[in-house]
Amino acid sequence: MVNFLDSKKVYFLLKLSVFGEFLGHGIFAIQGKAQWVGWISQLTGVDSATATTMLLVVGFIDITVAVWILLKPNNIVLSYAIFWGFFTALLRPIVGEPIWDFVERWANWGAPLALMYLSKRS
């Protein structure tokens, strides 16, 4: 029987999960996801061209975080991932989406938090 509570396996699976989350979000951001451009404009008051540029920068940061966490996570990058995952989940109700859009995205900050916890226990 395989021991699924093996901390090395869980650690790898969490790294892979956070990688996938940040890679996916980064790709959407680089593609200029229209809904996100609208949210940036709504929250900051900038025009859509500026919001698109801001989102492009966020996309490259997200992809950098994804790769960094997959290869060699550390507390600084994990802290950023926890903060950014929480903020972007909380952003949904701030811009008028239902609170459940925030709840649904708890894993966006919960997975990096669990990864940080597990890395401190190792």
Q: How far is residue 22's CA from residue 20's CA, in Å, rounded to a whole number?
A: 6
Query: How many separate domains does the chain show?
Result: 1
Residue 3 lies in a domain: no
Residue 4 lies in a domain: no
Residue 1 lies in a domain: no
Per-residue pLDDT at 80: 98
Residue 46 lies in a domain: yes
Residue 103 lies in a domain: yes
Mark out the alpha helices in the chain (DSSP H runs).
7-30, 34-44, 48-71, 75-94, 99-104, 106-121
User: Residue 120 carries which side chain, given as an amino acid letter?
Assistant: K
In this predicted model, what pLDDT tens digit does every residue of 63-102 receive, in sequence order?
999 999 999 999 999 999 999 999 999 999 999 999 999 9
Residue 14 lies in a domain: yes
In this predicted model, what pLDDT tens digit does every residue of 30-70 receive, in sequence order?
999 999 999 999 999 999 999 999 999 999 999 999 999 99
Per-residue pLDDT at 119: 86
Query: Burial of 118 by CB count in 10 Å (0-12 exposed, 13-18 middle, 19+ buried)?
Result: middle
Cα angle for residues 108, 33, 15 (degrees, 5° grid) = 30
Range of the domain at 94: 9-121
How does the average pLDDT of the chain come out, rounded?
94
Per-residue pLDDT at 66: 98
User: Residue 56 carries which side chain, given as an amino acid letter?
Assistant: L
Residue 2 lies in a domain: no
The confidence band for 8, taking pLDDT boundaries of 50, 70 and 90, is confident
Residue 61 lies in a domain: yes
Residues 6+ apart with CB under 8 A from 39: 91, 95
The confidence band for 1, taking pLDDT boundaries of 50, 70 and 90, is very low
Query: What one-character DSSP code corresponds to residue 31?
Result: T
